[in-house]
Chain A
């Protein structure tokens, strides 16, 4: 255990945990999309969980920072908030903001973070990016909406952890990056056991379970 100061409050922490977890455990909210507790090497890809650590020149993603004895951490500096707001605005500019018709409405991480940071869901500063990819309905277990996906990679992580190999993966580059799966282009159905963990891991409404739609049809087929 180490002792450190977060936002002026002295806390005790397990060195094995990330700073992000330590903050959350102590009731300090850190915006984040891509982090899961089980991750040994969090991807640090959503760029939301920044904090400032005294002695480090720049804000660091708290998911990749281990707590250390005597560390002084600030989670709410102007620079941190500026980066967080900017990242969120960017994410929202590439997100199909249609909360009323979204199945994730009211339990969506983007809504939470936007509320916390005081950012409108349709930021005026950036133009919304029109996305060309339609919903992907071929997967037996879920419907995937790339225009809602924040590419946090949580579904990929949980799937890989459960199955031991990569059924889900990222595909394409740049703004066209999507989550895809092996067999997406071919006639074979993906080696998926329909555990549904990917859908549960999605922090937004990009993955929607097909179960309710699929079940009666399967029953008829069998």
Chain B
């Protein structure tokens, strides 16, 4: 049967059978009158102890000899609350529990499942509105998000295709197969979707190039080579909802006329690799992938390619080189991969988030997507917000939401009443934006105008204790280590930048360093071969633009305003605050720099101190006697007594 409008009814019927089966199987699970415990088992959950929590639930259920199901799901995006557990106990609304340790798990089984007490002290919220328990929708962290890509993340079992189909999955593929490729490309163009990998190239246009490109075969590649420090959106999507991505890839393949698909995912994501492999197998068994999809003549097979973890392989030409078995080095463009990519044939490369948005666009229409968010970059943006925020995690918001809403309303602002200082967007290619830019809407153009970039979605929030020179140094250190070494500007230029920044943070900054940094940055931006080099200076340029005073303090006064650069700070103990006889700090010091003064208080030997800051943490909160100063000569010198005092 030929794919396309002529056979739309047959395709629909075929899909309806699939869906009926899935609903029936899923309905049996849902309809059963036994309690259901769902645990977030993505990498983030496992890291927080979900495996132990799951084992504790299973053991406790066996001990109490009750009938209950324990199931795994993906990540719901609330990293601060992991391990996250949802318990559906008949007679109660589904209740979400945060930070469920094995101890809490045992208590929940004995109190809630056996005795019917939902243990309010452990509750995060109910997933449905009810009279008994406050709903999670009352929290901004839940209510202000708008989820397209992550709508089903943490709600379905990623290892069960029926679960995805029962929630409306693969419906878009069935719909797409009843359209012509041109109609799909047009729909994506109407949607205004822009590539979520960072550069923001219009997806519809890319697909149009792919559709028109001539070649004996075409390939669709999903770029899941996520490598920014602190970014994990792609991993979470792969682990939580792999079928959505496969569906997006299949639609893309049908639209551009490709028969082969490759998911390029880094080997450091073993769980993501496992999930996508299981998903491919199941999808082929159900006939929504492989040969003759949904009974049509359209065939599309997907394989997984594991990258070895080079950041530069996220650049599309380097990614292609890597798949071809060569060293991952970017190539000059043009020719663009859409015309001449893998093995010299037309290749469409899209990011995980881009492809995962496609099913929703096909299902609800391009116009629907266009209406959402800001007009020039419509849709949703997924950020992994980390750093100094109360509620870190994965957030999906409509584009155009301001940074202030994202950082303060959704993620709860900076903890410990510390002042917000900057937000770093876009990883090593992005920039640091200060408080004055908090009202910048999150979309491709506004962020580039401000000097940052959307990037793939990493967002690091920094408070008053972050030194911006040190942050720039950190990112340059990263790009320098990840530079492929091919082109002069990136290989040597970033090293020169890094050397200057290292000098400045060590208090060896010189007059003229700021000017040299600026000109070097501009030349590297202009002269580099690929996106890595072209954007590598951004952290330096933005921090220079918005935090120039910090650079000047480092260079001219040898002072680190945030007190973070070790060479420029010193710790001392305020004798007026130090408690006589307390020696909490002494044991914490790894180098025995703390000694007892004549009046049985404590002081720091500056010649021994390595400035690790352990004593700050050890000093009891009622005293907070350990102080940090910059420049270091401000610390009062206290002589070590000749003989130890009792």
Contact = CB atoms under 8 A, between A and B. Distances in A.
Contact of B489 (A41, A47, A170): A47
Contacts of B491: 94, 151, 174-175, 177
Interface stretch (B75-83, B133-141, B326-334, B390-398): B326-334
A11 B589 CA distance: 75
A94 B332 CA distance: 24
Contacts of B499: 127, 129
A87 interface: yes
B639 interface: no
Contacts of B496: 90, 93, 126-127, 129
Nearest to A150: B488
B100 to A, nearest CB: 41
Interface in A180-214: none
Contact of A174 (B327, B485, B488): B485
Most buried by B among A45, A46, A50, A151: A45
A169 B493 contact: no
Interface in A120-144: 125-127, 129
Given A174-B482, A177-B484, A125 B516 contact: yes
Interface stretch (A22-30, A57-65, A97-105): A57-65
Interface string B510-534: 0000001000100100111100000
Interface of B: 310, 327, 329, 331-332, 480-489, 491-496, 499, 516, 520, 523, 526-529
A86 B516 CA distance: 12
B327 A129 contact: no
Contacts of B331: 41, 43
A50 B523 CA distance: 13
B492 A46 contact: no
Contacts, number: 97
A9 B184 CA distance: 49
Contact of A173 (B485, B487, B492, B528): B485
B488 A90 contact: yes
A169 B328 CA distance: 12
A83 B522 CA distance: 10
A60 to B, nearest CB: 9
B486 A151 contact: yes
B486 A45 contact: yes
Contacts of A150: 488
12 contacts: A43-B486, A58-B526, A61-B332, A86-B527, A87-B488, A87-B527, A90-B492, A93-B492, A172-B485, A175-B480, A175-B492, A177-B483
Contacts of A153: 486
Contacts of B516: 125
B208 to A, nearest CB: 23
A176 B485 contact: yes
Say whether chain A's binding surface is mostly helix, strand, loop, or mixed.
loop
Contacts of A125: 516
Contacts of A47: 487-489, 527-529
Given A47-B528, A170-B329, A90 B493 contact: yes
Nearest to B328: A173
B456 to A, nearest CB: 20
A44 interface: yes
Contacts of B526: 58-59, 79, 83
Contacts of B487: 44-47
Contacts of A94: 491-492, 495
B305 to A, nearest CB: 20
A91 interface: yes
A61 B499 CA distance: 28
Interface in A7-51: 41-48, 50
A199 to B, nearest CB: 21
Nearest to B334: A64
Contacts of B529: 44-45, 47
B527 A169 contact: no
Contacts of A44: 332, 487, 529
Nearest to B477: A174
Nearest to A178: B485
Interface in A56-109: 58-59, 61, 64, 79, 82-83, 86-87, 90-91, 93-94
Contact of B310 (A61, A90, A173): A173
A152 B223 CA distance: 29
Contacts of A42: 332
Contacts of A172: 485
Contacts of B482: 173-174
A50 B529 CA distance: 12
A44 B516 CA distance: 26
B327 A169 contact: yes
A88 to B, nearest CB: 9
Contact of B495 (A43, A129, A170): A129
Given A47-B529, A125-B516, A153-B486, 15 more contacts: A41-B331, A61-B332, A64-B332, A87-B489, A90-B492, A90-B493, A91-B492, A94-B495, A150-B488, A151-B486, A151-B491, A170-B486, A174-B494, A177-B483, A177-B485
A48 B529 CA distance: 11
Nearest to A46: B488
Contacts of B480: 174-175
Task: List 7 A-B pairs, minimum CB-CB distance, nearest first.
Answer: A177-B485, A90-B492, A86-B523, A175-B495, A44-B332, A174-B483, A45-B486
A91 B526 CA distance: 16
